[in-house]
Amino acid sequence: MIRTEEALREALKSRGGEAVSPADLLAHLHDRSLGRGRRRRNALLAAVLVVVLTVAGIAVFGHWLHDRRPTAGIPSPQPTPVVKSSLRMPLGPPFQYSFTIAPEAGFVVQGHEIRRWGERQTVSLPADPSLGVATV
């Protein structure tokens, strides 16, 4: 069926006439206006809370990670176990000579233990000079 523009106009007018009454809408509008303000305030508070909790969480986690590191900021106390010497003693009696091969003696926190390190080490030169290697 072919329709006319007038029929279309009438259909739209009749549909428009079925609109809800302004008084009903105004009552809703007032309620929603109040509710909208409250909702916006709550949303803002929730957003601020989320940001604060996130920052606090990151800070706590970072601190925990830092504490877990075993030797954070402490130099390695590992002394060199073997010293090679070019000192040769072809003649004379065997002798001993001691010297420090580690950094200055002291204490270090390693893991959860306190250890001594940097002790004086005794280096013995062999009686047989042909070996020519000192052992600790």
Partner 1 sequence: MATSGLTFDEFASAHLDALLRFATALTNDRELGADLVQDVLLRAHERWTHVGSRTDPVPYVRRMIVNEFVSWRRKWARVVPGVNLADEIPETGAPDHAERYADHLSLLYELERLPRRQRAVIVLRYYEDLPDNEIAQILGCTTSTVRGYALRALRALRVEIAVPGATHVSGAERRKP
Output 29 or 55, the one with its CB closest to partner 1.
29
CA 5 to chain centre: 71
**Nearest distance from residue 30's CB to partner 1, in Å?**
10
For partner 1 (CB under 8 A), the number of binding residues is 28
Task: Convert residues 11-50 into a mask of x (bound to partner 1 by CB under 8 A) and - (unbound).
Answer: xxxxxxxxxx-x-xxx-xx--xx--x--------------
- Residue 8 found at the interface with partner 1 (CB under 8 A): yes
Output 3 or 112, the one with its CB closest to partner 1.
3
Residue 68 in tokens: 């877990």
The pair phi, psi for residue 5, each rounded to 5°, is -65, -30
Applying CB under 8 A, which part among 9-17, 57-65, 69-77, 113-121 lies near partner 1?
Answer: 9-17
Residue 30: exposed, middle, or buried by beta-carbon count in 10 A (0-12, 13-18, 19+)?
A: exposed
Contact 121, 101 (CB under 8 A): yes
- Residue 65 found at the interface with partner 1 (CB under 8 A): no
- Residue 7 found at the interface with partner 1 (CB under 8 A): yes
DSSP one-letter string for 40-53: HHHHHHHHHHHHHH
Measured CA to CA, the distance from residue 89 to residue 130 in angstroms comes to 9
Binding site for partner 1 (CB under 8 A): 1-5, 7-20, 22, 24-26, 28-29, 32-33, 36
